[in-house]
Amino acid sequence: MHNYTFKRLKYIIFAKHKKGFSIHSPFVFDFITKVIENKNLDGDYLNINTLRKQLKKNNSKISTETLGAKSKTSSSEFRKISSIYKSSSVQKKYGELLYRICNWAKPQCIIETGTCMGISTAYLALSTPEAHTTSIEGNSDLVKIASKNLTELNIANTSIIEANIDDVLEDILKKVKKPDFVFLDANHTYIACKKYFEQILDYIHNDTIVVIDDIHWSTGMEKAWNEIKQNTKVTVSIDLFQFGIIFFRKESPKQDFKIKF
């Protein structure tokens, strides 16, 4: 049986380089110090944090019909918004990290699979106002909530596509041609994660960044992550336990890092 707690403890013990110490790659050292450990952008998140507090107290119920992997915490057909927010929305520190990565990389085209309530979408869109974020969500109730939340945050540089990711991801990739940043945060299964990543590979460029959520969520997700790291197009992979970050820079040697976060 996959032991998530054990995996977390193992990561804490063996992950290194929190401050960039002993990192010999200038690119990775720069990424750690300017992105992962950058604490100078806290003011940019204030409106999102206010929204978080509202969702945390919202006891309205919605349908849990979903196209992704089933929740580990509930099998009910209807759940409170506060419960879904707690279990499915991106954690605060990881949402802020998404913001910092995009604020640093300056992507023009951002794709997200799994909008949920629009929290991660907001971090992505706010990070680079001149960019456009396309997010895919299969639950119609969540699409309505996410759209409302983004409107309240005055975020207009987004499009939420209500659809099964399997049906539309390829068409979206063909339309944008060269995605700069992709956040895979839906359908956390081995088959789906590998499929979406392999679809993206046909459209990447040298500076594309792919972030995969929940890489240690299950044995299947760990298997997908390990196989993705080994792909010949991948040069740098960073394991933050919750997130896996993939780079394709041809000028970087192939390296894999576990960074405490």
Supply the CATH number for residue 155's domain. Answer: 3.40.50.150
Residue 74 resides in a domain: no
Q: How far is CA 39 from each of CA 94, 97, 166, 183, 237, rounded to the nearest angstrom?
A: 13, 10, 37, 22, 22
Please tell me the predicted confidence (pLDDT) of residue 21: 61
Residue 84 resides in a domain: no
Residue 50 resides in a domain: no
pLDDT band at 54 (very low <50, low <70, confident <90, very high): very high
Please tell me the predicted confidence (pLDDT) of residue 143: 95
> Percent of the chain, pLDDT > 90?
72
Please tell me the predicted confidence (pLDDT) of residue 261: 87
How many domains is the chain built from? 1
Residue 129 resides in a domain: yes
Residue 55 resides in a domain: no
Over the chain, what HEC string results? CCCHHHHHHHHHHHCECCCCCCCCCHHHHHHHHHHHCCCCCHHHHHHHHHHHHHHHCCCCEEECCCCCCCCCCCCCCEEEHHHHHHHHCCCHHHHHHHHHHHHHHCCCEEEEECCCCCHHHHHHHHHCCCCEEEEEECCHHHHHHHHHHHHHCCCCCEEEEECCHHHHHHHHHHHHCCCCEEEECCCCCHHHHHHHHHHHHCCCCCCCEEEEECCCCCHHHHHHHHHHHCCCCCCEEEECCCEEEEECCCCCCCEEEEECC
Q: What is the mean pLDDT of the chain?
A: 90
Residue 177 resides in a domain: yes
Please tell me the predicted confidence (pLDDT) of residue 236: 97
Tokens standing for residue 129: 């106002």
Residue 66 resides in a domain: no
Tokens standing for residue 190: 């081995």
pLDDT for 12-47, tens place per residue? 877 766 665 667 789 999 999 999 988 777 677 888
Residue 58 resides in a domain: no
Range of the domain at 204: 4-41+90-258
Q: Which amino acid is at 73?
A: T
Please tell me the predicted confidence (pLDDT) of residue 202: 95
pLDDT for 203-242, tens place per residue? 999 999 999 999 999 999 999 999 999 999 999 999 999 9
Please tell me the predicted confidence (pLDDT) of residue 23: 78
